Amino acid sequence: MALFLFPFNIASGGAAGIAILFEVWFDLSHAYTIWGLNIILLLFAVRWIGVLSSLKTVYTVSFTSLTIFVLQSFSIGLDMLPPIYVSFLLGAVVFGIGVGILFRNGASSGGLAIIAHIFFVLFKWLPGKSMFWMNMVVFSLIAYVIDWTLIFGAVLVQWIATKVINYVVSYQVQRDEDDTAMSA
């Protein structure tokens, strides 16, 4: 996010979008906003996804916030980044793989993904789909407040990330004993 998406004001999800808005409105660091929002959502998470999952998410959110804080302290100009659409693709794929792995291991990336994780646990809804629709609300607000053209990049990033997340969550690892090449 910090390297590929935030420099272009493109959100990878709802919490990142809210962080972008808070930076515009209050000049508040993305890292602080993401951490604060997640504290509130984690209080709800304990109830529905359990203490262990919530603790895993606290670890993930802390690591993410720290990483964003550190990466944003480096002065990286837009001229040093890949072209915008390459950044979209790289950001979406890296984000999707990371969030998918977290869901497979009983954690979430925080933010609105916590709500998607609750829906996944309670209703078995694939998390990518519920994240997509919740994030569309935030992306629309970003488009209205900052620049309406940003919604196109955000939707593209979210669509790619959603596909990657659902693939990673749904992917079935084939065991060696099931592998016909190994049994021959």
- The pLDDT tens digits of the residues spanning 4-61 come to 566 666 776 788 889 889 989 999 987 788 888 888 888 888 888 888 888 888 888 7
Q: What is the pLDDT of residue 27?
A: 92
Q: What is the pLDDT of residue 22?
A: 92
**Read out DSSP for 94-135?**
HHHHHHHHHHHTT---STHHHHHHHHHHHH---HHHHHHHHH
Kindly tell me the sign of the dihedral angle through the C-alpha atoms of 159, 2, 135, 99.
Answer: positive
In a domain, 181, yes or no: no
Rounded distance between C-alpha atoms, residue 54 and residue 44, angstroms: 9
Mean pLDDT of all residues in 143-157: 84
Tokens (6 digits) for 164: 């990657």
> Higher pLDDT residue, 78 or 107?
107
Enumerate residues 6+ apart whose C-beta is below 8 A from 35: 61, 62, 65
Kindly tell me the sign of the dihedral angle through the C-alpha atoms of 145, 146, 152, 155.
Answer: negative
Domain membership of residue 64 as a residue range: 6-171
In a domain, 26, yes or no: yes
Enumerate residues 6+ apart whose C-beta is below 8 A from 136: 155, 158
The pLDDT tens digits of the residues spanning 62-105 come to 887 787 778 767 655 555 666 777 778 888 898 888 888 888 88
Q: What is the pLDDT of residue 178?
A: 53
Give the predicted TM-score (pTM) of the model.
Answer: 0.68
Q: What is the pLDDT of residue 179?
A: 47
Q: How many domains does the chain have?
A: 1
CB atoms within 10 A of CB 9: 17
Mean pLDDT of all residues in 103-131: 83
